[in-house]
Structure 1
Amino acid sequence: MIRPVRLAPLDLLGLGLLGLRTRPARAVLSALGIAVGIATMVVVTGIPASSQAALLDTLTALGTNTLQATALQNQDPPAQLPQSAVGMVKRIGPVTAVSAVGNTHTLVRRNDRADPSSGGGLTVLASHLDLPATINARIRSGTWLSPATAAFPTVVLGSVAATRLGITDLPPGRPAPQVMIADREFTVIGVLATTPLSPDIDRSVLVGWEAARTQLRFDGHPSVLYVQSDETQLEAVRGVLAETISPERPGQVVVTRPSDALAAKRATQDSFSVLFLALAAVALVVGGIGVANTMVVSVLERRSEIGLRRALGATRGQIRGQFLTESVVLATIGGVTGTTLGLLATIGWATWQRWPIVIPAESAALGVGGAVVIGVLAGVYPCVRAARLTPTQALATV
Structure 2
Amino acid sequence: MSGHVPEAPYRRPGTRRSGSRGRHIRLSPLDILRIGLLGLRTRRARAALSALGVSIGTATLVVVTGVPAASRQDLMDQLTALGTNMLRVEAQADADPPVVLPQRADAMAARIGPVTAASAVGNTHAVVRRSDRTDPNDALGVSVLAARPDLLGSVGGELRSGRFLGRGDLPVAVLGSRAAVRLGLDRPGGEIYIGERWFTVVGVLEPVPLAADLDRAVLVGWSAARAALGFDGHPTVVYVKAREDLIEAVREVLPATVHPELPGLVQVSRPSDALAAKRATGNSFSALFLALAGVALLVGGVGVANTMVVSVLERRREIGLRRALGAGRRHIRGQFLAESIALSALGGATGTLLGMAVTAAYDSWQDWPVVFPPLAPVGGFLGAVAVGAAAGVLPALRAARLTPTESLAAV
Paired residue type of 1:161: A
Q: Distance in 1 between matches of 2:201 and 2:327?
A: 92
- Structure 2 partner of 1:159: 177
TM-fit CA distance, 1:353: 6.3
Alignment of 1:122 with 2:135, yes or no, is: no
Alignment of 1:217 with 2:235, yes or no, is: no
- SS of 1:372's partner is helix
- Cα gap change, 1:22 to 1:119, in 2 (>3 Å): same
Q: Any idea what the Cα deviations from partners look like across 1:53-99, whole Å, max 9, x if unmatched? A: 45544544444332211111134444321223123223323333221
* Equivalent of 1:383 in 396, 399, 403: 396
- Structure 2 partner of 1:173: none
Q: Any idea what the Cα deviations from partners look like across 1:317-345, whole Å, max 9, x if unmatched? A: 44433322221111112122223333444
* Equivalent of 2:187 in 154, 164, 169: 169
Q: Distance in 2 between matches of 1:50 and 1:156?
A: 36
Give 5+ residue unaligned stretches, structure 1: 171-175
TM-fit CA distance, 1:259: 3.1
8 Å contact from structure 2 (residues 85, 242) kept in 1: yes
Q: Any idea what the Cα deviations from partners look like across 1:150-197, whole Å, max 9, x if unmatched? A: x24432111122223322233xxxxx3333444654332211011122
Q: Distance in 2 between matches of 1:61 and 1:203?
A: 20
Paired residue type of 1:207: V
Paired residue type of 2:183: L
* Equivalent of 1:326 in 309, 318, 339: 339
Q: Distance in 2 between matches of 1:228 and 1:117?
A: 37
- Structure 1 partner of 2:130: 110
- Structure 1 partner of 2:348: 335
> Which is further off, 23-32 or 42-51?
42-51
Q: Distance in 1 between matches of 2:255 and 2:392?
A: 65
Alignment of 1:16 with 2:42, yes or no, is: no
- SS of 1:376's partner is helix
TM-fit CA distance, 1:256: 1.6
- Cα gap change, 1:13 to 1:7, in 2 (>3 Å): farther
Q: Distance in 2 between matches of 1:50 and 1:95?
A: 27
TM-fit CA distance, 1:138: 1.2
- Structure 1 partner of 2:208: 195
- Cα gap change, 1:194 to 1:274, in 2 (>3 Å): farther
Identical aligned residues as a percent: 59
TM-fit CA distance, 1:300: 4.0
- Structure 2 partner of 1:249: 262
TM-fit CA distance, 1:303: 4.7
Paired residue type of 1:160: R
Q: State the number of aligned residues.
A: 391
- SS of 1:329's partner is helix
- SS of 1:219's partner is coil
Greater Rg by CA: 2
Q: Distance in 2 between matches of 1:288 and 1:235?
A: 48
- Structure 2 partner of 1:206: 219
Paired residue type of 1:74: D
Paired residue type of 1:100: A
Paired residue type of 1:371: A
Q: Distance in 2 between matches of 1:43 and 1:58?
A: 22
Give 5+ residue unaligned stretches, structure 2: 1-5, 7-19
Tell me the TM-score normalized by structure 2.
0.81
Paired residue type of 1:154: V
Q: Distance in 1 between matches of 2:268 and 2:288?
A: 35
Q: Distance in 1 between matches of 2:33 and 2:238?
A: 69
Q: Distance in 2 between matches of 1:98 and 1:320?
A: 66
8 Å contact from structure 1 (residues 107, 118) kept in 2: no
Q: Distance in 1 between matches of 2:136 and 2:285?
A: 55
Q: Any idea what the Cα deviations from partners look like across 1:194-242, whole Å, max 9, x if unmatched? A: 1122111112121222332333332322110011234443332222111
- SS of 1:81's partner is coil
Alignment of 1:294 with 2:294, yes or no, is: no
- SS of 1:25's partner is helix
Alignment of 1:64 with 2:81, yes or no, is: no
Paired residue type of 1:166: G
Q: Distance in 2 between matches of 1:257 and 1:304?
A: 78
Paired residue type of 2:91: A
8 Å contact from structure 1 (residues 38, 367) kept in 2: yes
8 Å contact from structure 2 (residues 167, 223) kept in 1: no
Q: Distance in 1 between matches of 2:30 and 2:224?
A: 82
Paired residue type of 2:310: V
- Structure 1 partner of 2:13: none
Q: Distance in 2 between matches of 1:282 and 1:162?
A: 59
Q: Any idea what the Cα deviations from partners look like across 1:284-307, whole Å, max 9, x if unmatched? A: 323322322322333344455556
Alignment of 1:81 with 2:101, yes or no, is: yes
- Cα gap change, 1:262 to 1:278, in 2 (>3 Å): farther
Alignment of 1:234 with 2:247, yes or no, is: yes
8 Å contact from structure 1 (residues 45, 279) kept in 2: no
Tell me the TM-score normalized by structure 1.
0.84
Paired residue type of 1:233: L
Q: Distance in 2 between matches of 1:218 and 1:318?
A: 89
- SS of 2:238's partner is strand
